[in-house]
Amino acid sequence: MSTEKVRVRFAPSPTGPLHIGGVRTALYNYLFAKKHDGDFILRVEDTDQARYVEGAEQYIIDSLNWCNIPFDEGPGKKGDAGPYRQSERKNLYREYAEMLLASGKAYYAFDTTEELDAHRQDHEAKGKTFIYNWHNRQKLKNSLSLSEAEVRQKIEAGEPYVIRFKIPEDESLSLKDEIRGEMTIDSKILDDKVLFKSDGMPTYHLANIVDDHLMKITHVIRGEEWLPSLALHVLLYRAFDWETPKFAHLPLILKPQGKGKLSKRDGDKLGFPVFPLQWKDPNTGETSSGYREEGYFPEAVVNMLALLGWNAGGGSEKEIYSLEELTAAFSLDHVSKGGSKFDPEKTKWFQHHYMQGAKNEVLASDFQKILKEKNLDFSTEYVEKVISLLKERASFLSDFWEMGSYFFTAPENYDEKAAKKAWKEDTSAIMDDVIAKLEETEDFTAGNIQEKVKTWIAAEGIGFGKVMQPFRLSLVGAMQGPDVFEIAAAIGKEETISRIKKAQKAL
């Protein structure tokens, strides 16, 4: 085994917000790098100017940071292999294309788009598919079919050209993927891919290989959609006589129901985010929801993504993993070959779990911000108390308001059904007695209130529900919430009595 330092890269194109599948690719790269004490590099593949989207690169960086999986080298960070944006490396690729021209492994092609289209249509009419390859390259307009003088003349006349890779004609290629194992591909089926475009820019294939080589990448971990390019990439390494990195192609993330890849458009359509952070499209102004803004903890999202296509093996049923535990347990051997169905309910399950583990003081200080927006101001101590009462059933910070707004403001109205059931003709008189008991309670703790009220109920021989239901309705406005004595103790004696009086008037 080689002892060279593990170096992996996440190489997104900044053509829009980073899809959750892209986040998973980044995460697996991060875990693999950290597991092997290696480097995790962010390389921005922005050679396609037409698809460049303002703000997308920053979005990618913000997303990795939010997930707590920062890169070691990349735009804005120091490193020996920079620059890390392909647009800043563009002068470097031509030289490599020329190296392949010189060694006869690539060639100039002058066919215009119209000519190629005509060939395509022609083939289609005959029920065939046109492929620019060994079979017909000799019949097309390129430096293999034309004389040297003709080629020189065209180039000097400024005729546009591309540089194509000359795929070996008839070879059985054995390829290896760390997840899928060995594969054999017949080079006959491959086309002579363009490496260098007429606009002077490299294609993805050339830039990607050159950069992976120059950046000393040891393992290429990327999405399954690149598996069909593996043969070409391996042939490119061979053509340059460079050492080939190891490859691992990650399975697709599938829609929750049915088949097919979870797409960027699915999210808001299916009712859950498919992006880590909210994204506002700079061109259309359209907003797509993000996990951060929906209130998810990054730990929950990371945990969920880690298990979407990977397991610890050995029949392990462990589901809760911190980033450190994931780093320790991760290996490419246990990445699945088949696609994994995205499960939004499972994401919520993880979220609920991480909510239970969150520190009340941290939640309280975050929740105080929500209260401020509503012009409500409560002490951290009080908010912490409320959180401790509601947390068990909460998954999101916003739940504390949804489930417990009555801790912060008196109910404005009362659940009609509950009121009908709980508030009878004699209720107001009973509540007068409850008020008297509350007045008498010196130290207004849940225990003391309960003791007072329950002893009185027992002495009077009134049905428990006849007291407790209207009591709850007065404080909460509905038949929900934690122990009613806890609620009373939290909001205090004065507020408790005032709410009962308010209910008496209203009901």
Q: What's the min distance (Å) between Cβ of 246 and ligand GLU?
A: 13
User: What does 358-425 look like in DSSP terms, one character per residue?
Assistant: S-HHHHHHHHHHHHHHTT----HHHHHHHHHHHGGG-SSHHHHHHHHGGGTS--SS--HHHHHHH--T
Q: Select 11 or 253, whichever has its Cβ closest to ligand GLU.
A: 11
Check the CA dihedral 375-377-383-385 and report its sign.
negative
Q: What's the min distance (Å) between Cβ of 10 and ligand GLU?
A: 7
Contact of 320 with 381, CB cutoff 8 Å? no
User: CA–CA separation, 68 vs 490, rounded Å?
Assistant: 37
What residues contact 477, with CB distance under 8 A and at least 6 apart? 406, 411, 412, 413, 414, 415
Of 105, 166, 193, 264, which one is the catalytic site residue? Answer: 264
Q: Which of 41, 168, 34 is nearest to 106 (CA)?
A: 168
User: CA–CA separation, 251 vs 98, rounded Å?
Assistant: 35
Q: What's the min distance (Å) between Cβ of 298 and ligand GLU?
A: 22
- Residue closest to ligand GLU when measured from CB atoms: 222
Q: What are phi and psi of 222, to 5 degrees?
A: -150, 180
Residue type, 344: P
Contact of 174 with 182, CB cutoff 8 Å? yes
Q: Select 32 or 444, whichever has its Cβ closest to ligand GLU.
A: 32
Ramachandran bin of 339, using left for φ above 0, alpha for ψ from -120 to 50, beta for the remaining angles: beta
Q: What's the min distance (Å) between Cβ of 358 and ligand GLU?
A: 34
Q: What's the min distance (Å) between Cβ of 208 and ligand GLU?
A: 5
Contact of 145 with 138, CB cutoff 8 Å? yes
Q: Select 45 or 486, whichever has its Cβ closest to ligand GLU.
A: 45
Q: What's the min distance (Å) between Cβ of 309 and ligand GLU?
A: 16
Q: Select 19 or 34, whichever has its Cβ closest to ligand GLU.
A: 19
Q: Select 234 or 418, whichever has its Cβ closest to ligand GLU.
A: 234
What residues contact 294, with CB distance under 8 A and at least 6 apart? 273, 396
Measure the N-to-C terminal CA separation of the chain; round to a whole number of Å.
79
Q: Select 41 or 491, whichever has its Cβ closest to ligand GLU.
A: 41
Q: Is 128 a catalytic residue?
A: no
Residues that bind ligand GLU (CB under 6 A): 11-13, 45, 208, 222, 226
Residues belonging to the active site: 264
